[in-house]
Amino acid sequence: MQPNFSQKHPSTHRPIDLILPRLEKARRSKNGWIARCPAHLDKTPSLGVRELDDGRVLIHCFSGCDAADVVAAVGLTLADLFPPRPPGPERQFAPSSNPAFSPFDVLRLIQHEIHIVLAAACTALNGELTREDIERLQTAINRITDAIRLAGVKR
Ligand SMILES: [Zn+2]
């Protein structure tokens, strides 16, 4: 059977395509877009949106809204600003025969948590981390620790 090359690049979802349609009055600006900030009563668009080369999206409210609040206002999370991992290598992991522990699930969880950490780092660049952000980072550490314990990995 011939491989179907048209399926080689499945619909890659870009974070920018996720966030832009949810923003009002989004228009092109110098190096990205400017839109109404959904997190505050924004009469003149004051939310800067930028897509980086690697697909990450940076958002910055010039009125000072927290990036986490901005994405939450349109039903997204900071992790949605990061591109999904490219498809492929994950399929090489055979499902574990032990239903209580799948290495793939654990890696997936760790990857997700690392996205949260990266998102928080972005927030830190834009301003200050909130107590909630810090608590979420603590949760990330706890989850990764749990995952390691679950996998039975000993130091
Ligand atoms: Zn705002």
CA of 48 to the centre of ligand 1 (A): 10
Q: 17-27, pLDDT tens digit by residue?
A: 999 999 999 99
**CA 63–ligand 1 middle distance (angstroms):** 5
- What confidence score (pLDDT) does residue 5 get? 44
Rounded CA gap, 80 and 5, in Å? 28
In this prediction, residue 114 has a pLDDT band, given cuts at 50, 70 and 90, of confident
Q: How remote is the CA of residue 26 from the centroid of ligand 1, in Å?
A: 14
Residue 23 structure tokens: 């923003």
* Angle, helices 103-126/131-150, rounded to nearest 10 degrees: 160
Better-predicted residue by pLDDT, 106 or 153: 106
Residue 11: pLDDT above 50?
no
The domain locations on the chain are 5-150
Tokens of 81: 């600003």
**Residue 91 · residue 66 · CB < 8 Å:** no
Q: What is the pLDDT of residue 3?
A: 46
Distance 25 CA to ligand 1 centre (A): 14
| pLDDT band with cut points at 50, 70 and 90 for residue 111 | confident
Ligand 1 geometric centre to CA of 42 (Å): 7
Give the integer Cα–Cα distance in Å for 59 and 47: 7
Band of pLDDT at residue 112, cut at 50, 70 and 90? confident
Does residue 61 sit in helix, strand or coil?
A: strand
**Over 80: is that where the pLDDT of 108 sits?**
no
Residues shown for the chain: 155
Give the residue ranges of DSSP H helices in the chain: 15-19, 67-73, 103-126, 131-150
Q: What is the pLDDT of residues 117-150, one digit of tens each?
A: 888 887 777 777 788 888 888 888 888 777 777 6
Residue range 38-89, pLDDT digits in tens? 999 998 899 999 999 888 999 999 999 999 999 999 999 999 999 877 655 5
Rounded distance from Cα 150 to ligand 1 centre (Å): 41
Q: Which of 101, 142, 93, 115 is nearest to 15 (CA)?
A: 115
Residues 122 and 78 sit within 8 Å (Cβ to Cβ): yes
